[in-house]
Amino acid sequence: MKIYVEQGDYGTYLITNEENDKNVLVQTDYDFPGLARTFGWDGEESDFSGAQEFLDEIADTDTGVEDPGYFDSDDDESIAPEDMEDPEEEDAFGFFE
């Protein structure tokens, strides 16, 4: 199955599975070089900004690659955005119950 990169909110990326439209959120710049390499980038592993520039260029395009394992069909625990529940309310320490 092929995967694609979409631009997410606040400098994040979504890896999208073409078969079922499920997504994996990539939000840490430390993850950008690995994701960029999946799509053919050949920069240095420590070049976070170079990886981000590459991902910006291919995000929301038809650039797709075979899934190297982001979506394991035997253990798919991803949740579609429309199926996510809103947190109820915070407890006294600011945690959601």
Quick check: is 13 in a domain?
yes
89, part of any domain: no
Read off the pLDDT band of 72 (50, 70, 90): confident
Residue at 92 is within a domain: no
Residue 85 belongs to some domain of the structure:
no
Q: What pLDDT is attached to residue 85?
A: 56
Assigned domain for 59 exists: yes
Structural domain includes residue 84: no
Task: Provide the domain limits for residue 28.
Answer: 2-67
Summarised one tens digit per residue, pLDDT across range 45-66 is 999 999 999 999 999 999 999 9
Express the helix, strand and coil content of the chain in percent, nearest 5 each: 30, 20, 50
Mean pLDDT for 72-87 is 56
Instruction: Count how many domains the chain has.
Output: 1
| 86 within some domain | no
Residue at 60 is within a domain: yes
Measure the CA–CA gap between 16 and 67, rounded to whole angstroms: 10
Average pLDDT, the chain: 83
